[in-house]
A and B are shown apart, each in its own frame.
Chain A
Amino acid sequence: MVRDSITIVGASLAGLRAAETLRRDGFSGRISLIGAEVHAPYDRPPLSKQVLAGAWEADRTVLTPADRLELLGLDMRLGRRATGLDLSGRILEVDGVSESYDGLLIATGARCRTLPGTGHLAGVHTLRTLDDSLAILEAMRGDPRRVVVVGAGFIGAEVASTAIGHGVPVTMVEALPVPLGRVLGDMVGSVIAELHLEHGVDLRCGVGVEAVEGGDRVESVRLTDGTVVEADLVVVGIGVVPDTGWLEGSGLTLEDGVVCDETCLAAPNITAAGDVARWPNPRYGEVMRVEHWDNAVEQGAHAARRLLQSEEEAVPYAPVPWFWSDQYDRKIQLAGRARPDDEVRIVSGSLEERRFAALYSNDGRLTAVLGMNRPRHVMQFKGLLEREASLAEAIEFAEGLG
């Protein structure tokens, strides 16, 4: 359905790419882009890498340069937060002020989980925004005795890697037996554990955080096994929760995200994209919410187009999820949906040289491919995943790689 105006709530990657898609597809109506942060839309992956390393100035993270942004002719409002939505009256509330909308795209992303009881302690950080990254960078440059990274997921692992680069001693605490075991399985998780140990990280797996202690500032972290780690900087990377608080009572279905149909439609005239959107991916027959960079780009574009389409024109959003993580000098990429009980087979390179591609499968079905410093192969197998090739076919292809 073609409309006069579209309001996009959330001015990060998904929201901005949605706006750009609308213009590229010829939509000439008003586009409002509303963002809670004061910064022009910026890219988040460098926040745990180049920005945190001090290698990039903050302005290098800008997603679309000002001159090109200008050409889009957006009604862009930064430092403004959506505070409510009324479906029946088609009213959006921004900082408490009501305005009407025609089409609405929700891309408010997610916010970090925090450790309970740490709100009053200086030196305890989460990492999501540019301001978060700059604050941690400043702390790392202040010659801390030790940083404790809570959670060895992708954010935690990248923060640990960058902290080592600053010469800061790191203790990384992970509740699971190996880092990323739930996503990548124990074999690959062990490779990642060794990578961190080799770079000097004091990695503590299979243990939780009992308490973060200190007066005004953090002084130590007490673990569930009774040990106490002295630290003046703590970075907590224990996942995110979708930012849907402002939608409570709106009439939209909220369930760990904004629940959409398979075309990304959450209600008539309303779509959602990026970290905040939960939708049934028909490729997997599974309702999912994907927090990856590539998904924000793709789903942002899909949800934007959906607002301009009729029911008949609408198509399901059925991506093969893909992400990457850079740790030390290793690039880890995963395409597909791996499960801990998948069979894992190395098809090129080796674990020892930490340069390999691994196929994940379940019941003879290819489910995912993981690469460590093997981008070419990951993308070739991603193509096979997209056309739902069998494991046998993937293995045959792998044999041809040499």
Chain B
Amino acid sequence: MRIVVDYDQCESNAICMQIAPDVFEVRDDDFLYVLDETPGEDRRAAMQEAVQRCPKQAISLEG
């Protein structure tokens, strides 16, 4: 599973960071950084939640 972020869409609402701080981090510069682009299968439910809860639909999963 690979995390893909559309940075043209991302507005740094940081919802994803709250759901999975080990994968997503919005830093003090207000930009989103993906800390782990290929999280393990055990993180799939959380990744799906991040996809659903992103107000900009900026996150997608491949694989």
Contacts and interface: CB of A to CB of B under 8 A. Distances in A.
Interface of A: 17, 20, 24, 43, 45, 63, 293-294, 297-298, 301, 322, 324, 326, 331, 333, 373, 375-376, 378-380, 382-383
Interface residues of B, number: 16
For A294, A324, A375, the residue with the greatest tally of chain B CB atoms inside 10 Å of its CB is A375
Given A24-B48, A375-B13, A382-B18, A294 B53 contact: yes
A376 B14 contact: yes
Contacts of B48: 24
Contact of B11 (A297, A322, A331, A378): A331
B55 A376 contact: no
B17 A376 contact: yes
For B13, B48, B57, the residue with the greatest tally of chain A CB atoms inside 10 Å of its CB is B13
B32 to A, nearest CB: 9
Contacts of B27: 376
A276 to B, nearest CB: 20
B55 A294 contact: yes
B52 A376 contact: no
A25 to B, nearest CB: 11
Nearest to A382: B18
A368 to B, nearest CB: 15
Contacts of B11: 326, 331
B13 A324 contact: yes
A293 to B, nearest CB: 6
B17 A293 contact: no
